[in-house]
Amino acid sequence: MLFHGMINTYELPIKGNGVLLMPTTKKPLKVRQIERMKEKEYSKTYLQRKQERQEEPNNYPLTRLILIKDFFRTPDLYKAIGFFFSIQIIIAVIAAGVNHPKYAGALNLLAIILGIVIVTLSIRTINRRQRLDPTRRKFKLSRVLFITTVMLIALFLVTYFYSLIGITMSAQPNQMSLNLLFTIYPVAMVFTVLFVSPIIEELVFRELLPFATGPSYLSFVIASLIFIALHAPYGIMGWTSYGILAAGFLYARLKDNNVYTAIAVHMIWNALALIV
């Protein structure tokens, strides 16, 4: 059966029993764009299992099995590696000024430019992923301040407890090298520590790495343990301190299902570390 209009011609298929079948409506452009973005951002195995089990975006299982080949195929893994090493490159560029003081100004400027570019790419990645998840809650400054306060209290209590049994906070090798760069190149280092590092580290360890295996509470914990280990803490007090940091950042990420909450907590913590 044909319906002829002034502009378009539509053909409506008919079943053998004579029942008229209406044509399926085409999905809106925005819906199709989001679906394509999901296919790029998440592994096919994760999306298939998510659809089968009808999982809520923030209702993660305790653990999740994933094929090794899917793990190495997911773009999240390589994005995490790329963003993580970008921080190391920035710090290496700043540190190169120590050995080449003649070019220190140009190297610091290059580090800041690289930082701006990487932060821009990171924010674009975060915003794209936030749009894919309808359960991402709005950013709340009150929650950020509350989590930061709890972390400070926890660190104070742990430090006090360790002092009672004769354990003191040893100088952390990672912090010592950063402090040296702070004294020589304060502007570039402040920009890196206050802005570049929190944004990229939260994107890598609280978003990309957990999703590389398909998000689960176990994958979030493992990613946070990697975060602690890569900061090379020294002594039981160092491991405990970084453990409190990682726990606070992870709670901020999972509580609101919003990466920006964790980023804000991380920024405030780094700012307090600079002041103190």
C-beta of residue 231 within 8 angstroms of C-beta of residue 174: yes
Longest dimension (CA), the chain: 90
Q: Is the pLDDT of residue 262 over 60?
A: yes
| Domain assignment present for 155 | yes
What are the start-end ranges of the H helices in the chain? Answer: 29-41, 44-53, 68-73, 75-99, 104-132, 141-164, 173-184, 186-191, 197-203, 209-212, 217-230, 235-256, 259-275
Cα atoms found within 13 Å of the Cα of residue 121, Cβ hemisphere only: 15
Please tell me the predicted confidence (pLDDT) of residue 11.
45
Q: What residues contact residue 264 under an 8 Å CB cut-off, 6+ apart?
A: 139, 141, 144, 252
257 within domain boundaries: yes
- For 172-195, give one letter per residue: b (16+ CB within 10 A) or e: beebeebeebbeebeebbebbbbb
pLDDT at 10: 41
Q: How far is CA 203 from the centre of its chain?
A: 2
Which uninterrupted H or E stretch holds 19? none
Residue 40: what residue type? K
Domain count within the chain: 1
* 54 belongs to a structural domain: no
Instruction: State which residues form the domain around 196.
Output: 74-275
Q: What's the pLDDT tens digit per position in 189-237? A: 999 999 999 999 999 999 999 988 888 899 999 999 999 999 888 888 8
**Considering the domain boundaries, does residue 243 fall inside one?**
yes
- Asked if the structure places residue 163 within a domain, the reply is yes
Q: Average of pLDDT values for 5-13?
A: 44
User: Residue 39: what pLDDT?
Assistant: 57
Residue 1 maps to a domain? no
* Model pTM score: 0.78
Distance, in Å, from the CA atom of 215 to the CA atom of 205, rounded to the nearest integer, reads 12
pLDDT tens digits for 158-178?
Answer: 999 988 888 887 777 777 777
Q: Is the residue at 230 inside a domain?
A: yes
pLDDT, tens digit, for every residue of 29-61?
766 666 665 555 555 565 565 555 555 556 788
Give the tokens for residue 137: 């809650």
pLDDT digits (tens, 9 = 90+) for 99-132: 888 888 899 999 999 999 999 999 999 999 888 7
Q: What is the mean pLDDT of the chain?
A: 82
Percent of the chain with pLDDT over 70: 80
pLDDT: which is higher, 7 or 134: 134
Residue 58: inside a domain, yes or no? no
